[in-house]
Amino acid sequence: MKFSVVIPTWNEGAQIGSALKRLRQVSQSSPLEIILVDGNSTDDTVAQARDWADQVISLPNANRGEQFDAGAHKATGELLFFLRADCQPPDSWQQALEHFWLSASNRKVAATAFAVDYGSGFSMRLAARWSNSRVSLRGAAFGEHGLCTTPEIYKESGGYPHYACLEDMGFCERLQKIGRIVLMPERIWPAARRMRRDGPLMTGMRHLWLRARFSMGTSPDELWKTYGGL
């Protein structure tokens, strides 16, 4: 199966080259295209990415939902893998996803998500358990879980809403109308930069507060201006 990996970026120049290089190194079992969609970075993100990405798309503004959607519409793979720039997928990500989607067990499944691993420490392990339980119990995955689906399901769902933040929540709500979001046992490692800076408790409370504000009618663009994304 051919995979299309869609990665949105905004000012990731310091690490995007090494991240894409590692992705190339661990991705050898199946055909692969990497589509990087940049949201008008002011650093050298685009220059650093060109050596490793098959396509680099530049948009005039940072809007993660729009960036994911733009990449999906350029993709030619049989599976779409939506990956944040600061997340490291498992070495066996292609084999795991290919095996799942080729099996009969994927009926009524709209997408898959890897189990996040924030690293050692009680609070970080507890945060990972909470995040993974949201996928298992509610089908609500953060973007850092690495969502994977087919182009057909993506099109049927309506794809990523053009939200500057909370795009993962909107996309999962659309997917749930089609089928389940399945949590894969393999682990993905997000950088979790905000969580490491502010702590899991404060980060979790901020997520809940932003989602509450969104439910009360605050636009994702306004939330992004306040918080800088999720």
How high is the pLDDT of residue 104? 60
The answer to whether residue 226 is domain-embedded is no
Strands (E), 69-224: 79-82, 87-88, 109-116, 147-149, 180-190
Q: Which domain holds residue 81?
A: 3-192
Report CA 76 to chain centroid distance, whole Å: 18
Question: Residue 9 to residues 3, 14, 41, 123, 200: CA-CA distances in angstroms?
Answer: 19, 12, 8, 28, 24
The answer to whether residue 222 is domain-embedded is no
The answer to whether residue 230 is domain-embedded is no
Greater model confidence, 199 or 17: 17
Span 95-114, pLDDT tens digits: 999 999 998 666 799 999 99
The answer to whether residue 153 is domain-embedded is yes
Q: Are the C-beta atoms of residues 99 and 184 closer than 8 Å to each other?
A: no
Q: For the chain, how many structural domains are there in total?
A: 1
The answer to whether residue 220 is domain-embedded is no
What average pLDDT does range 209-214 have in this prediction? 82
In angstroms, rounded to a whole number, what is the distance separating the alpha carbons of residues 6 and 115? 19
The answer to whether residue 205 is domain-embedded is no
Q: Look up the pTM and report it.
A: 0.92
Please, is 98 exposed, middle or buried when counting C-beta atoms within 10 Å of its C-beta (0-12, 13-18, 19+)? Answer: middle
Nearest CA among 64, 53, 34, 23 for reference residue 189 = 23
What average pLDDT does range 118-138 have in this prediction? 92
CATH of the domain at 185: 3.90.550.10
The answer to whether residue 71 is domain-embedded is yes
Span 181-197, pLDDT tens digits: 999 999 999 987 777 77
